[in-house]
Amino acid sequence: MAAIETQQLAREFEGGIKAVDGVDLEVAAGEIYGFLGPNGAGKTTTVRMLTTLLQPTGGRAMVAGYDVAKDAGAVRRKIGVALQEAALDPLMTGRELLELQATLHGISRKDGRERGQWLLDRVGLTLAADRRVGTYSGGMRRRLDLAAALVHTPEVLFLDEPTTGLDPVSRKAIWEEVRKLNDEGTTVFLTTQYLEEADQLADRVGIISGGLLVAEGTPTALKAEVGRPHLELCLVEQAGKEARAQVVLARFGRPLPARDGTLMVELEHGTSEVGPIVVALNQEGLDVESLDLVQPTLDDVFVHKTGQHLEGAAKEDTGEVEAIPE
Amino acid sequence: MSWQGSAATVGALVRRALNEITRVPGAAIPGVLAPAIFFLGLTSVFGSLTLLPGFTTHSYQSFLIPVSLLQGAAFTGAATGVNLARDIEQGWFDRLLASPAPRPVLLAGLVLSASLRSLLPATFLLIVGLAVGVHWPGLLGLVIALSLVMGMAVVAATWGTSLAFRFRTQSAAPVMQVGMFLAVLLTTAYAPLHLLTGWLQSVARINPVTQVVEAVRQGFTGSVTWSDTWPGYAALFGLAAVLTFFALRGMRRMTL
Amino acid sequence: MIESLATNARVVAALGNRSIKQTIRRPQLAAPLIIFPTALLAIQTAGAGRAVDLPGFPPVTNFLSFMLAGAIVQAVMMTGNSGAIAFAIDMEMRFTDRLYAAPILRSSVILGRLAATAALGAMIGAYFVVLGLIFGASINEGVPAVLWIILLTSASALAFGSIGAAIALRTNSASVVQGIFPLVFVILFLSDAFFPANLMLEPASWVAQYNPLSFIVNGIREPIIAGWSATTQLKAIASVFGVGALGFALCAGAMRGRLRRGV
């Protein structure tokens, strides 16, 4: 039985806005599924439907074997949800939050306390457990949110952008935890803006754009589909020379949208073309300042399928990204 | 969910709601002081009304204190609605919605805290009132008064909660507060029924909250009788039932 | 470079205009100013209406005619409070910084806000006069009285607004200004606004007899229920000037303090 299964899942808002326009996806039990998409693509709306926070206006979705519209209560018992940082109460302590979550799931007080303590230790919040959440850092809040989602040992875990805005160390810690959970059998449905996160964690990836699923598969298979390496280069004193350069590059492969002033071209025949390209540019009086041969990434898949770069990709290395809500 | 689970959920949500006053220094003060200030002000201003022939008591303080008690309860309840609107705006409420706790249990957890919180302004007001000459209502009168005050707070909280589900924003706060404010004043608040003028007399006659005012008032202005008591409780139960219906419907619509 | 007086006048008008639009467009700001005092007027008139039968009550056609002045003053004070909150929000949002950086007199910024309050005060005065007439109040001194009431209301709004603005300038916090709100009611209770001072209970009665707000209320009330008298009107004007002078002095002091602190 699939952990998550949707058939033509759709959500229309007032004014005829189709946030989700007929999505068919399937997540096998025990899988980590990465759900990628630019802002406004329908990621959050899809997640809210799968977690019973929003009713679909079309199609259906089954989570952990239950219909999200007809058996919402049963679905809620089986899923863990870590949606946004804001779903925490600054006046409560970490421990109190976990115990409240346990109570909401009908877990007895004694069991709830034990479970809470165990989870606090697991996510590294033992020392901060009795401090108010208002004093926690961003990373601590995410860990608490994750712990809260695990209180009742869910079958399917939904993580909506779990590491957005975190520093690289905190991010790696969350990834570790997600892998461990998955090893223990939990299915994970993860939305993210980060390529690396999807690449590292996901068994399979789905890309949503404009309310439709435009690609689905393992990261390897998707990259192989797009298949080709691309060349990134900058010219000496590039200003004003881009047009001529693009003409030259077009002879060798498919020019890609430039990013941050870097010219890019997808190569048809591979690395053997690097030399000829530089020569061709020199013949036009264009000198190459820097040059990088890049193997396909999920961003390439993304650009290929949606025409845009994945939002977080450009800023990934600084480790500081603002969470941009949909 | 088992009944123990439901009770535990309600208890946990009530405890959380009380954090607003126990963990935020000074947050409770305006809510506690305001009813007493208004009580003192209004009794000083309109105190001479008792000189009118046909007024049911000589002490305007004793006559008015039930109104101030109920207004304190009403504002406490409205504040519950405002807090819920904030919780919805900030995403906290998603946590409750995504859990398997049944909707009525969640609602109970949200509104019952108001009954406990209403005891703060009520107690302070009673102390002030007794100090300026309000008649001691007797133990039975006091118990009835306080229980009705707590009930009014729950009714007001259910009202505020319905609005919070409907509007989902803190800007709806004035509607929550004004609605309750008017509900308590469109009664025999300022004078006995036969001394009210024209339209207000008609409105007060049909307003269920009038029964609540009179039931709270009895001990303070006279003796407690069953016939003055049961209409107050009946009115509160009726209002609570209707508002609970709207609140639950509003909560279910959150996911639509 | 400080621009000419004409420019500053235009700035005051423009800022005033903005403040008025702001108030009217946001229901949660407008509602307390109109709906609340109207509801209270209706309820108090109907609830305590028999008071006119009390010995010692000034001769009136009906209780509404008496209460009208109180409702007007209450609405005026709430307008002043509301304007101060909006002003404080402007400061918290740093909108005022933008204005201070412009080549205009700093006082124009405050005057703009106060001009709006005065204009709103006039509108409120007119609104309640019309409302009162519709529901049976009678204005003894007729049209001159109406014009005078609107003028006096506008001036009072300006005066109370200046106190509110001073508080906003000093505290920089909208929530503090909002907390002042109950105080507004205390001052109203300790005055002639809702009931004749001689019929109130002590010690409120004594305070009400000397409360400047009472003089202002009586200045508005007198031409409605009785005939003009120089003493009453002079006391009213003096009180408005007194409150206004205090308010402006406090504003000036608060502004100087801000300039020193570099805010």
Q: With left for phi above 0 and alpha for psi between -120 and 50, is residue B10 left, alpha or beta? A: alpha
Disruptive mutation site among B24, B99, B253 for chain A (greatest number of A CBs within 10 Å): B99
In chain B, the largest separation of any two C-alpha atoms, in whole Å, equals: 61
Compare A97 and A301 and report the one with higher pLDDT.
Answer: A97
What element of type H or E holds A11? strand A4-13
pLDDT at A178: 93
Q: What is the dihedral of CA A67, A71, A73, A78, to 10 degrees?
A: -40
3-state SS, A259-318, equals: ECCEEEEEECCCHHHHHHHHHHHHHCCCCEEEEEEECCCHHHHHHHHHCCCCCCHHHHHH
Instruction: Give residue A326's pLDDT.
Output: 34
Least confident of A284-298, B172-186, C86-100: C86-100
The mean-pLDDT minimum among A237-241, B91-95, B102-106, B139-143 falls in A237-241
Instruction: Give A319's pLDDT tier (boundaries 50, 70, 90).
Output: very low
Nearest neighbour of A51 by CB, restricted to B90, B92, B98: B98
pLDDT at position A316, please?
A: 38
B42–C contact, CB cutoff 8 A: yes
Other beta carbons within 10 angstroms of residue A156's beta carbon come to 23
Q: Residue B160: which pLDDT band, with cuts at 50, 70 and 90?
A: very high
Nearest-neighbour CA in chain B from C248: distance (Å): 29
pLDDT classification of A313: cutoffs 50, 70, 90: very low
> What's the distance, Cα to Cα, between the start and end of chain A in Å?
31
pLDDT band with cut points at 50, 70 and 90 for residue C170: confident
Residue C96 has pLDDT above 90, yes or no: no
The CA distance from B240 to the nearest CA of chain C, in Å, is: 25
Give the helix/strand (H/E) hosting A98: helix A94-104
Give strand pairing partners of A80. A157
**Cα–Cα distance between C183 and B37 in angstroms, integer?**
9
Least confident of A137-141, C80-84, C211-215, C219-223: C80-84
- C89 in contact with B, Cβ within 8 Å: no
Query: Taking 90 as the threshold, does the pLDDT of residue B256 lie above it?
Result: no
Q: How far apart are CA B150 and CA C170, in angstroms?
A: 40
pLDDT tens digits, A177-211: 999 999 999 999 999 888 888 988 999 999 998 89
In the predicted model, is pLDDT for residue A320 greater than 50? no
Reading across the β-sheet that carries A187-192, which strands appear in turn?
A79-82, A156-160, A187-192, A32-36, A204-209, A212-217
% chain C with pLDDT above 70: 95
pTM for this predicted structure: 0.82
**Digit-coded pLDDT (tens) for A76-125:** 999 999 986 668 988 999 999 999 999 999 999 999 999 999 999 999 99
Mean pLDDT of all residues in C124-152: 89
Residue A213 in 3-state DSSP? Answer: strand
- Asked if the Cβ–Cβ distance from A92 to B16 is below 8 Å, we say yes
Q: Give tens-digit pLDDT for B5-53.
A: 999 999 999 999 999 888 887 777 878 888 999 999 999 999 999 998 8
**CA–CA min distance C34, chain B (Å):** 12
Q: pLDDT tens digits, residue range C180-232?
A: 777 888 899 999 899 999 899 888 899 999 999 999 999 999 998 888 888 99
Contacts of C among chains (3+ CB pairs under 8 A): B
Q: List the single residue in B with minimal CA-CA distance to A88.
A: B92
Asked if B162 contacts B247 with a C-beta cutoff of 8 angstroms, the reply is yes
Predicted confidence at residue A128, as pLDDT, reads 94
Distances (CA, A) of C149 to C97, C125, C247: 36, 7, 21
Give the pLDDT score at B81.
Answer: 93
Query: Average pLDDT, stretch B129-149?
Result: 94
User: Does the beta-carbon distance from B195 to C50 stay under 8 Å?
Assistant: yes
Among B88-97, B148-157, C8-17, which is the least confidently predicted range?
Answer: C8-17
User: What is the average pLDDT value for chain B, to the nearest integer?
Assistant: 92
Closest CA to A252 of A240, A233, A268: A268
Q: For A252-265, how does the pLDDT look when each residue is reduced to its tens digit (9 = 90+)?
A: 888 888 878 888 88
Q: How far apart are CA A241 and CA C162, in angstroms?
A: 63
Q: How, if at all, do strands A156-160 and A187-192 pair?
A: parallel
Backbone φ and ψ for A60, nearest 5 degrees, come out as -145, 165
A-contacting residues of B 85-104, CB under 8 Å? 90-92, 94-102
Q: How confident is the model at residue A311 (pLDDT cuts 50, 70, 90)?
A: low
Closest CA relative to residue A143, chosen from A85, A219, A69, A212: A85
How many interchain CB pairs under 8 A, A with B?
77
- Using DSSP, state whether A7 is helix, strand or coil: strand
Q: Are B149 and B120 in contact (CB under 8 A)?
A: no
pLDDT at A135: 94
- Residues of chain C with C-beta less than 8 angstroms from the C-beta of B48: 51, 54, 195, 199-201
Indicate if the pLDDT at residue A3 is higher than 90: yes
Q: What is the pLDDT of residue C244?
A: 92
User: What digits encode the pLDDT tens for the residues A25-53?
Assistant: 999 999 999 998 877 788 889 999 999 99
Q: Which of C5-14, C165-174, C249-258 is least confident?
A: C5-14
Does A323 have pLDDT greater than 60?
Answer: no
- Which residues in chain B are closer than 8 Å to C190, comparing Cβ atoms? 41, 44
Q: Any chain A CB within 8 A of the CB of B3?
A: no
Choose among B233, B86, B83, B254: nearest CA to B155.
Answer: B233
Cβ atoms within 10 Å of C15's Cβ, excluding its own: 22
Q: Between the CA atoms of C37, C40, C41 and C46, what dihedral angle is there, to the nearest 10 degrees?
A: 170
Separation of CA C165 from chain center: 12
Which chains are adjacent to chain B, needing at least 3 Cβ pairs under 8 Å?
Answer: A, C
Question: Is the pLDDT higher at B232 or at C99?
Answer: B232
A170 close contact with B: CB closer than 8 A: no
Q: Is the predicted pLDDT of residue C175 greater than 70, yes or no?
A: yes
Q: Which of residues 32-61 of A touch B (CB under 8 A)?
A: 51-55
Using a CB-CB cut-off of 8 Å, the residues of chain A touching B91 are 83-84, 86-87
Give contacts of C 117-156 with B, CB under 8 A.
none
Predicted local distance difference test score (pLDDT) of residue B166: 92
Highest averaged pLDDT of the listed ranges A230-239, A305-314, B101-110? B101-110
Whether residue A63 has pLDDT greater than 50:
yes
Closest C-alpha among A125, A122, A138 to residue A93: A125
Angle at alpha carbon of residue C161, lines to B82 and C230, rounded to 5°:
130
DSSP state of A202: -
How many residue pairs from chains B and C have C-beta atoms closer than 8 A? 95
Give the pLDDT band of residue A314 (cuts 50, 70, 90): very low
Are A81 and B98 an interchain contact pair (Cβ–Cβ within 8 Å)? yes
Mean pLDDT (chain A) is 87
- CB pair distance less than 8 Å for A105 and B98: no
Least CB–CB distance from B16: residue in A52, A100, A109: A100
Above 90 in pLDDT, residue B201? yes
Comparing CA positions, the residue from A239, A242, A240, A269 lying closest to residue A254 is A269
ipTM metric: 0.84
